[in-house]
Chain A
Amino acid sequence: MPDNARILYCHCAYAKVVPDEVKNDVLRRLAESGVAFDAVADLCELSAKRDPALNQLVEGVGPGNELRIAACYPRAVKWLFNAAKVPWPEGLEVVNMRVEQAEPIVQILLNGRPTDQPAPPEEEPAAV
């Protein structure tokens, strides 16, 4: 993992939309890996509260300073940040725990997305 890459894990604690076995397995594997990472109970909650913690999480993120987020659909995460008036910088990668399996998710979180596996299509960033 590049030195500056950071990891954010969302536990989606207040709904059953992320499969339990996937999110718990991702959390377990991250804990076992011994890397530093941030974990939040629920990104939706932070967005609804416009929690300043969201701003702190993206501080310094940019090319060469990635933030990899394990959460749900990238489109949902992007607009949750927008709803909280938090900019969506370059260098932000979302991995979808609703549809992907724990093993490849953790590999992307720890090592980045393989170059032969392109990220989901990015929409144009919108003004916040």
Chain B
Amino acid sequence: MAAPTTKTPMMKVALYEGAGSEELSAVDRGAILKSLLEKGVAISCIRPGRSVTPPPGGQLLVLGRFNEAKPNEAEGENGVTVRFRDIAGLSVDQVGKIVDEVRGGTPAKPWKPWFPVIDYQRCTNCMQCLSFCLFDVYGAPGGKIGVENPANCKTDCPACSRVCPEVAILFPKYKAGPINGDEVREADISREKMKIDISALLGGDIYAALRQRSTDAKARFSKERDEKRAIAERKACLTKLQQTLQEALDIPAEVMNALPSMDMIKAKAAAAATANS
């Protein structure tokens, strides 16, 4: 996932329908809201008697059908820049262009926020996720496990949640429960795939299976004296094994192909233990 590191001043949009402005039709209001949300903009719908809290040091863009002229720009409290734009007679697209203009363009690429979220009600601080994750998403400052580098996480990969023995790791945008945040049921905890031990997942099963496939392929090769055929068979076996694991665990091929070795896992676990001792 792309790192969420934008340093531009935060902008909040207020769709103003209070005193000194004309009300929008429900259809226009809904269309403007949907369009701006799709652009990644946060909006406050302001009605009579309701104020908005602007982002400190950021900018507040107030859109409305104003009855009187407003300044283009004004200084608000806490260093907030307040900009007013009259949207009377403008189409939804034109309103969107105003917002893009004020915030300095559109984000280059839609960003899918994909990162693990820890349910500390369930987490036992066992550090399996830290030991497992290849990409240093996790850290344990002060001895408490936490998500330190969310931007390092591989989009659509829920692998660390598979090795958590307590079902304490969520990916809110995952398709299925309990990883998506749905209630954790007894069956989830006892389900075999939720209790996968790291050594079984990586050190035991897969490497042992790969070695076995290799041995089998060599045996066949010596019998058949057909190098090309043996290599092709071996590749097919490896691919099938990987596909089986990918389908069972829903781990992207990119991550599956880069799984850590047992030595790497042990080294990370030892480092974490040393840091916490």
Contacts and interface: CB of A to CB of B under 8 A. Distances in A.
A80 B40 contact: no
B147 A83 contact: yes
A27 B120 contact: no
A58 B183 CA distance: 24
Given A44-B173, A45-B40, A79-B120, A53 B10 contact: yes
Interface stretch (A30-38, A61-69, A100-108, A109-117): A30-38
B173 A11 contact: no
A70 interface: no
Nearest to A80: B117
B19 to A, nearest CB: 14
B120 A98 contact: no
A27 B143 CA distance: 43
Interface string B22-42: 000010011001100111111
B121 A123 contact: yes
A56 B113 CA distance: 21
A124 B112 CA distance: 30
B258 to A, nearest CB: 23
Contacts of B111: 14, 45
B119 A48 contact: no
Contacts of A121: 183
Given A27-B34, A52-B55, A73-B180, A42 B40 contact: yes
A27 B33 contact: yes
Given A76-B181, A98-B180, A17 B119 contact: no
Interface in B129-154: 147, 150-151
The 10 closest A-B pairs by CB, nearest first: A76-B181, A73-B181, A31-B30, A44-B113, A76-B172, A36-B50, A11-B37, A36-B47, A32-B26, A15-B173
Contacts of B4: 45, 48-49
Contacts of A46: 42
Contacts of A47: 113, 117
B274 interface: no
Contacts of B53: 56, 59
A73 B119 CA distance: 13
B183 A31 contact: no
8 contacts: A13-B37, A35-B45, A39-B37, A45-B111, A56-B55, A73-B182, A79-B119, A82-B120
B40 A77 contact: no
Contacts of B118: 79, 82-83
Contacts of A48: 4, 113, 115, 150-151
Contact of A11 (B6, B38, B183): B38
A93 B168 CA distance: 22
B181 A77 contact: yes
A97 interface: no
Given A39-B37, A83-B147, A17 B180 contact: yes
A79 B30 contact: no
Interface centre among A56, A75, A77 (most CB of B within 10 A): A75
A123 B181 CA distance: 13
A56 B223 CA distance: 72
A114 B180 CA distance: 26
A120 B183 contact: yes
B110 A44 contact: no
A73 B29 contact: no
A119 interface: no
Given A34-B47, A126-B121, 11 more contacts: A11-B38, A13-B110, A27-B30, A31-B30, A36-B45, A39-B45, A42-B113, A45-B40, A49-B6, A52-B55, A80-B172
B43 A39 contact: yes
A127 to B, nearest CB: 8
Nearest to B170: A76
